[in-house]
Structure 1
Amino acid sequence: MSLRAVVTGCGHYLPSRVVENAEFEATLDTNDEWIRSRSGIERRHFAAEGENTSSMASAAARKALEDAGCDVSDVDAIIVATSTPDLTFPSAATMVQAELGMTNGFAFDVQAVCAGFVYALANANALIVSGQAKRALVIGAETFSRIMDWTDRSTCVLFGDGAGALLLEAQEADGTPQDRGILATDLNSDGRYRDLLYVDGGVSTGTTGYLRMQGNQVFRHAVEKLAATANTAMERAGVSADDVDWIVPHQANIRIIQGTAKKLNLPMEQVVVTVQDHGNTSAASIPLALSVGRDRGQIKQGDLVVTEAIGGGLAWGAVVLRW
């Protein structure tokens, strides 16, 4: 027998303010058709004043706990993937811990930008498989609207805010690809490409800074690296593309999503797509898509799911799990 980290609950939260592409036409040289044709994005959600990464993360976490029928006192760990924490420190995860009323266990953040949730899942899996935690809340939450340069039409129209959460629980399994839970992970990074996607602020500048991106260069790396990491994770899990029920990719750009699916020889009918409604929510995009995909009736218990993401760093990775 072996231990697997099994998804027992999921949930998400989106701010109430919906921003359609047309809203940008008043301040930028852009339009709805231009944004849709290049990204597939039609709308996104922006956090309200006073609404922060930790509050959205807490809302998503509560839904995941409710979905699992689990009390927060039974959770051992909270991992929040984010690049937009409320403060430099303490971690957003400890703020969520306090907000949920959890006084036991431990909480910490993971920062790998858009790949953050994949990194957080890999960390949670390792904690569970090694016996350091029995239940872990894994959350992706971002308020990217707070780091946008509203004069840069190439970036500010792409991003949105939101949060998604999974509750993982240690369960005994047979150690085969038929087990429920996380079957394999693959993580990668290459700091030589840090100038392709970064925020030009921090303690070195004394400013929050704005997101800067060389979109064409990021696109060039994305499809190749996403397909490669997904294939590596599937190989480690002992499964092939033929076994996959759903790809749940990082929702950055519809062309990247389509290109990656094509490289994996999987039809778009097997890809959960939410980018049109959420935009790029960075570390929140995969848990958001998992929760929405489950709510839509796409993802069902027993389905084999592959998630993959790439973000600033560059950092990228994939997780193969059976729902």
Structure 2
Amino acid sequence: MTELSARIAGIGSHLPERILNNDEISAMVDTSDSWIRERTGIRQRHIAGEGVTTCDLAERAARRALEDAGIAAEELDLIVVATTTPDFTFPSVGTMLQARLGATQGAAFDVQAVCTGFVYALSMADNMIARGQAKTALVVGAETMSRILDWTDRSTCVLFGDGAGAMVLQAAEPAGEGTDRSGILGTYLRSDGRFKDLLHVDGGPSSTGTVGHLRMVGNQVFRHAITNIAESMTTIASRCGVTIEEVDWFVPHQANQRILEGVARRLSIPTEKVISTVADHGNTSAASVPLAFDRAVQDGRIKRGDLVLMEALGGGFTWGAALARY
């Protein structure tokens, strides 16, 4: 049986209306706009309003992706939502989103890999399409990270924001050969649980019975991020038979501008080929890759036929990359 290709049929995103800039955060904790910009590159982030949930953000991004693809929700037979901030312990955001969209067939579930979540979810959907288990998949990264922040901790609360991004994948017979094929060309996933204490949330249903707050050892995460993200990028490129130089666009997880620049220097990537939205969005965890991808499509940088490499690292640690011909 010939494996099917997962073509990117549509993409969409959504950001909450409320914008929290650095000056406003400076009135809350001992920091400043210049301190935040110098260390992170962030100048603002979007914050979900009271009563707005992760599923709300996911739904808005999903509807835009479906509209972009020209596909009705009834055609979906797979929904994979990447999130670390679900509305409830259960049911999953995926199943709630399935009901809201009116998608009445197939399966829906969540993937929890923190900031690498979208890459993990994309890999799950791609593999299910390749094996004929799904024909039309919706992959969403959605987060309300503001709900798990300690707003007295300046080392973390300045970094994160809320948002959602979505991608519609559709099964297609492979057209072209090698990296000339359209769609997802390959994914690469890794994790190493030994580094849990460097980036984690200090609560949970079976440990504290509370939601908890995000905790991070920033300098250590920074070092691992550059090393592991660069490794995942070179690995997936090699596996797919391309060089880093042949990639048209790099869409990284938007954690910190210094990490983006550090990876680019390590791999000799021109900065103009790296999509960066961190200044406007902050770190939106699993939502950051599709948010950045959608912005670059909307402003005309990423075009059909371009070779795009997505990559991320998240708490756990998890990390990985995906290569696609858009």
Q: TM-score normalised by the shorter chain: which range applies?
A: over 0.9
Query: 2:242 aligned with 1:239, yes or no?
Result: yes
> Take 1:59 and 1:16, find their aligned partners in 2: how far apart are those partners?
13
Q: Deviations over 1:101-159 (max 9, x none)?
A: 11111100000000000000110110000000011000000000000101100000100
Query: 2:7 aligned with 1:6, yes or no?
Result: yes
**Matched residue SS, 2:153:** coil
Q: Deviations over 1:48-86 (max 9, x none)?
A: 111100110011000000001000111110000000000
**What is the match of residue 164 of structure 2?**
163
| Structure 2 runs not aligned, ≥5 long | none
**Matched residue SS, 1:177:** helix
> Take 2:211 and 2:227, find their aligned partners in 1: how far apart are those partners?
32
> Take 1:137 and 1:24, find their aligned partners in 2: how far apart are those partners?
35
8 A Cα contact 1:185 1:320, kept in partner: yes
**Matched residue SS, 1:154:** helix
**What is the match of residue 309 of structure 1?**
312
8 A Cα contact 1:82 1:110, kept in partner: yes
Query: 2:260 aligned with 1:257, yes or no?
Result: yes
Query: 2:221 aligned with 1:218, yes or no?
Result: yes
> Take 1:3 and 1:101, find their aligned partners in 2: how far apart are those partners?
26
Map residues 98-247 of structure 1 onto 2, 5 A cutoff: 98-173=99-174, 174-203=176-205, 204-247=207-250
8 A Cα contact 2:77 2:103, kept in partner: no
> Take 1:167 and 1:218, find their aligned partners in 2: how far apart are those partners?
31
Query: 2:24 aligned with 1:37, yes or no?
Result: no
Aligned-pair identity (%): 59
8 A Cα contact 1:2 1:175, kept in partner: no
Q: Deviations over 1:170-203 (max 9, x none)?
A: 1111441100111111100000000000000101
Which TM-score applies when normalising by structure 1?
Answer: 0.99
8 A Cα contact 1:115 1:309, kept in partner: yes
> Take 1:79 and 1:301, find their aligned partners in 2: how far apart are those partners?
24
> Take 1:184 and 1:227, find their aligned partners in 2: how far apart are those partners?
16
| Structure 1 runs not aligned, ≥5 long | none
Deviation at 1:237, TM superposition (A): 1.0
> Take 1:139 and 1:228, find their aligned partners in 2: how far apart are those partners?
25
**What is the match of residue 280 of structure 1?**
283
8 A Cα contact 2:75 2:103, kept in partner: no
State the superposition RMSD in angstroms.
Answer: 0.8
Deviation at 1:210, TM superposition (A): 0.2
Query: 2:303 aligned with 1:300, yes or no?
Result: yes
Q: How many residues align?
A: 323
> Take 1:125 and 1:29, find their aligned partners in 2: how far apart are those partners?
45
Deviation at 1:4, TM superposition (A): 1.1
